[in-house]
Amino acid sequence: MPGTAAHFSLLWRKITMSSSRLGLSLAACLLNISEARRKCVVENIAKAALLGENGQKHPEVSVLNIFSDQDYNRSVITIAASVDTLGKNSAALFLLQSIDMEVQEGIHPCLGAVDLIPIHPLSGIGVEECGSVARNIAETLVQHIPGSSVFLFGEADLPGKRSLVQRRKELGWFTRRDFNALKPDLGAAPARRCGLTGVGASLYVMNCNVTIDCQDLAAGKEIAGAIRGSSASGLKGVLAMAFPHDGKIEIACNVESFEDQKATETSEDSQYLAYSVLGNHFSYVSPHYLEAQIKKLASDRGIGTIGRALVGFTPEGCKNCAEYAIRESIGEFWKMRGGVFM
C-alpha cells in the first residue's frame, strides 16, 4: 500500500531507473516552519505550496516530503519546482496566518513562524540564480504580509554572503528574546505573532539526525562538538547540535555540500559522496559515515546509539525525486513515500 517501506522501495527503483527529459531549471525549498503538533495545519501549508497565483495546481511544483517532529514542534516541507514558479506559491503567506509565535513552544530554537526558507539548486540552475529567487521571495513576504520581517543569508545576502550559521549567531537564534530588539534586513521590526524569517540560498543542505541511547545532554553536546566541521577533527560541512528528544538525546546535523573539483562517484559507505550541478562537482558527508562516527564517539563514552533519521533526501535523491514527480505530475509526492510525523 502507498506509504509503506515496500511500496517506496519499488517506487525508488522506478525513479532511479528513469531518465529525465524535463529540460527545466529545478530548485528545492526546504521550508522550515515552527509547527508540527497540528498535522492539518502542516498539510494545508504543503498543499498551498502546489497552487499557482490563480489558485490552480501548478504542474511544475511537487511537495516531495514532510518531516514533522512534535518534541521540536518543527516541520520541514521539501518543495521542488521549476525556478520560474518556486517563488510564486502561497505556502509561506498562508503559514504566517496559521502559526502564532506568541504561543509557540518547542525544544528546537526558532525565530519565526516561517523560520527558514532556504533555496537549493537541483538541476539546470546555479546557486547564484537561487539567490535571486530567494531575494524575490523575501521582498514578496515583507510587501504582502503586515508585520513580517526577514534576515538574509548565503547567496541572497549581498554583498557579504554571510552564512546561515553566522547570521543565526548575530541574531541570537539559540535563545528566545524580545522580537522588538531584532533588526531585520527587510521589513519592519518583527511582529510578535510572525517573528523573524530567514531567507537565503546555498548548495544543498542535508538534514541527518542520530539518536544516542542516554539522557546525558552534556555528553551529547561533546559528541556534536566533535563532529562539527569547525572542530579540528570534525567532518567537513557538518553542523551539529544536541537536543533532548523522546527521552533520549538526538544529535541533529545539517550536512552542507561543498565544492570539490576532484569529486567522483563513491559508495554510500565512503566518507564523502559526490554529485554535480551544471557540470560543477560537489561533495557531502555520507549519512552512513556520519552515523558511524557518532556511534564511535558515543561508544567511547560507554553510550549506544538507537538509529538514524534522514530528514528528506540526499542531494541526488532530491534531484531524482523532483524530476520524476514533476515529469509524472505528482504534486503530492510526499503521500507516495509516506510523510513522517513523529
Please provide residue 196's backbone torsions phi and psi, each rounded to the nearest 5 degrees.
Answer: -120, 130
Q: Is 198 helix (H, G, I), strand (E, B) or coil?
A: strand
Taking the C-alpha atoms of residue 25 and residue 153, their distance in angstroms, rounded to an integer, is 22
- One-letter identity of residue 302: G
Task: Report the distance separating Cα 192 and Cα 113, nearest Å.
Answer: 10
Q: Indicate the pTM of the whole model.
A: 0.90
The class that CATH gives domain 5-203+313-341 is alpha beta
Select from 116, 113, 190 the least CA-distant residue to 153.
116
Confidence (pLDDT) at 341 = 39
5: its cell numbers: 517501506
Q: pLDDT tens string for the chain (342 positions)? A: 455 555 545 554 555 555 555 678 999 999 999 999 999 999 999 998 998 777 778 889 999 999 999 999 999 999 999 988 887 766 777 777 889 988 999 989 999 999 999 999 999 999 999 999 999 999 988 988 877 899 999 999 999 999 999 999 999 887 766 777 788 999 988 888 889 999 999 999 999 999 999 999 999 999 999 999 999 889 999 999 999 998 999 999 999 999 876 666 566 667 899 998 888 899 999 999 999 999 999 999 999 999 888 888 999 999 999 999 999 999 999 988 654 433
> What pLDDT does 247 receive?
92
Distance, CA of 39 to CA of 256 (rounded, Å): 28
The pLDDT score that the predictor gives to residue 265 is: 58
- Domain 205-311 is of which CATH architecture? 2-Layer Sandwich (3.30)
| Residue 219 confidence (pLDDT) | 97
C-alpha span between 134 and 152 (Å, rounded): 9
- The residues near 110 (Cβ < 8 Å, ≥ 6 apart) are 34, 74, 101, 104, 173, 195
DSSP letter for 224, please.
H
Question: Where along the chain do its domains lie?
Answer: 5-203+313-341, 205-311
